[in-house]
Structure 1
Amino acid sequence: MALKNFVPLALLLLFVAVLAAVGYVAYSIVQDVSKNTREKMERKHVVFSKDGMKVEVKEMKDEEYKDRSQSVLVNMWNHTSFPAYKSRLWDMAGTSGADTQFHAEQRKPHSH
């Protein structure tokens, strides 16, 4: 009779032990991933804390900042093209000045 009462208790303990083992493995995996991610982010100067995330920025002198910005803008300007673009202010195709003056007069509003 004592054996019949012992089997459900043993099964319950075994079930709880399996759940505890699965929970521990999941917890250790989450902690390991969190630790590795934190270390990789710290190498890239990003720090997580209870207050939030802090990002360290390399200090750059004003002149170096302006040089880099200007370099980017000059490179963009040099590598762009405007197909079939005709400026209202100047004619890149080099047509005669009389033709340009005629187009300018057409754009002017008429006065009555």
Structure 2
Amino acid sequence: MRPTQSLNGGGGGAPIGRFNKFLGGWGGFGGMKQKGIITYGLSPNRQNPFAGAAHDAVFNTWRRFSAQVFYWAPPMIAGYYLMDWAVHRNEYLNSKAGRAEMGDEE
């Protein structure tokens, strides 16, 4: 039993394509070379990996802070005022005037 052309790699010298033209092997489709495409490269040891890092850190931090502030700020403020009220109430109840008001129930 012979494997099919696709299992054989598709090549086999058989003409394929729209106009019976061999398109080339895998990744090389034959045809004309492309013109007008310019590619530039820069070696990794010539790059500056921290270029703009401080600037981006400031604005990224601000973006993340402003997106989350309404989730944690209101409970934080409410907790602060609740603790402030509780401390002042405790100080009053343990003062001379507070004990006199409560009737010195101890």
TM-score, normalised by the number of residues in structure 2: 0.30
Structure (1 or 2) with the greater helix fraction: 1
Structure (1 or 2) with the greater strand fraction: 1
TM-score, normalised by the number of residues in structure 1: 0.29
